[in-house]
């Protein structure tokens, strides 16, 4: 038991660009009373420039090296909610590490919804100069990595509140099953449950949807 309680209780969100990881992560952290960190923000803070500027000046391989450094920094974190960049878990060996660092949750939005949202928000160098077919191919390849998460949720037609409530429920179930803090057990992957709510899709909610925070029990 002592060994199990040493396992970090982080919650790590993975998924394609535009899936709503930042929006969900921020609200989830508030709901759980935990710190929220984003791998992209850790990188921009270290480099002192934006993600598009880093890609522009040094290219994607350099950015992936920075992500590898951030992965090492994540091993120091406990009880955090972490939103990762879309490509973060997709480098060799990274998903294995993330699965050890806490409960990994895949926010799996439809390609069309994620693509539209990522484009609308902008600042995504992986979309620049790529045709929609190329981005769709990247999306398909990455699904095989993301689906290894402990929990997968198709958020396309879920509200942010419903997504957060579903994650909180999963953490509590997992905690109960494992008889130890959430993130320490070996619960099987939940099937993506489809729509749990009929409000705005999670991917379309603006950041910081605090006024809807208590709409569902969590
Ligand atoms: C990337 C996704 C971005 C960011 C960078 C690379 C990717 O994060 O890390 O532009 O390779 O998919 P988001 O998933 O938050 O857009």
Residue nearest to atom 8 of ligand 1 (CA): 85
Q: Whose CA is nearest to atom 4 of ligand 1?
A: 85
In this structure, the number of other CB atoms found within 10 A of the CB of residue 102 comes to: 26
Tell the CATH topology of 2-201.
Rossmann fold (3.40.50)
Give the binding-site residues of ligand 1, using a 6 Å CB cut-off.
17, 21, 40, 51, 85-87, 118, 124-126
Torsion of CA 3, 1, 180, 96, to 10 degrees: 30
- Cα 204 to ligand 1 centre (Å): 17
Report the sign of the C-alpha dihedral through residues 121, 125, 130, 136, in that order.
negative
Ligand 1: residue of 124, 134, 146, 207 to mutate (most ligand atoms within 8 A of CB) is 124
pLDDT higher at 207 or 112: 112
For residue 153, the surrounding DSSP H or E stretch is strand 151-153
Q: Determine the residue of 40, 43, 134, 146 to mutate for testing ligand 1's pocket, defined as the one with the most ligand atoms within 8 A of the Cβ atom.
A: 40
Nearest of 49, 55, 58, 84 to residue 70 by alpha carbon: 84
| Nearest CA owner, ligand 1 atom 12 | 86
In the chain, where are the structural domains located? 2-201
pLDDT beyond 70 at 210 = no
Average pLDDT, the chain: 84
Closest ligand 1 atom, CA of 51? 10
pTM of the predicted structure, to 2 decimals: 0.83
What pLDDT, on a 0 to 100 scale, did the predictor assign at position 53?
98
Separation of CA 125 and ligand 1 centre (Å): 8
- How much distance in Å is there from the Cα of 4 to the middle of ligand 1? 32
Write out pLDDT tens, residues 121-178.
Answer: 999 999 999 999 999 999 999 999 999 999 999 999 999 999 999 999 999 998 888 8
């Amino acid at each position: 038991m002592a060994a199990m309680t040493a396992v970090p209780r982080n919650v790590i969100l993975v998924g394609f660009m535009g899936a709503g990881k930042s929006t969900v992560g921020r609200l989830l952290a508030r709901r759980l009373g935990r710190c929220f960190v984003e791998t992209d923000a850790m990188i921009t803070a270290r480099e002192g420039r934006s993600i598009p500027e880093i890609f522009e000046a040094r290219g994607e391989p350099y950015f992936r090296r920075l992500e590898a450094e951030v992965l090492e920094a994540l091993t120091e974190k406990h009880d955090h909610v972490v939103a990762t960049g879309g490509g973060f878990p997709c480098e060799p060996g990274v998903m294995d590490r993330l699965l050890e660092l806490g409960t990994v949750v895949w926010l799996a939005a439809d390609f069309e919804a994620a693509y539209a949202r990522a484009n609308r928000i902008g600042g995504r160098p992986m979309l620049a100069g790529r045709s929609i077919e190329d981005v769709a191919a990247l999306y398909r390849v990455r699904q095989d990595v993301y689906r290894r998460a402990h929990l997968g949720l198709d958020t396309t037609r879920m509200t942010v509140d419903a997504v957060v409530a579903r994650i909180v429920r999963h953490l509590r179930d997992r905690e109960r099953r494992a008889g130890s803090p959430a993130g320490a057990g070996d619960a099987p992957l939940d099937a993506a449950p489809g729509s749990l709510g009929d409000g705005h899709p999670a991917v379309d909610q603006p950041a910081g949807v605090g006024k809807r925070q208590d709409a569902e029990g969590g």
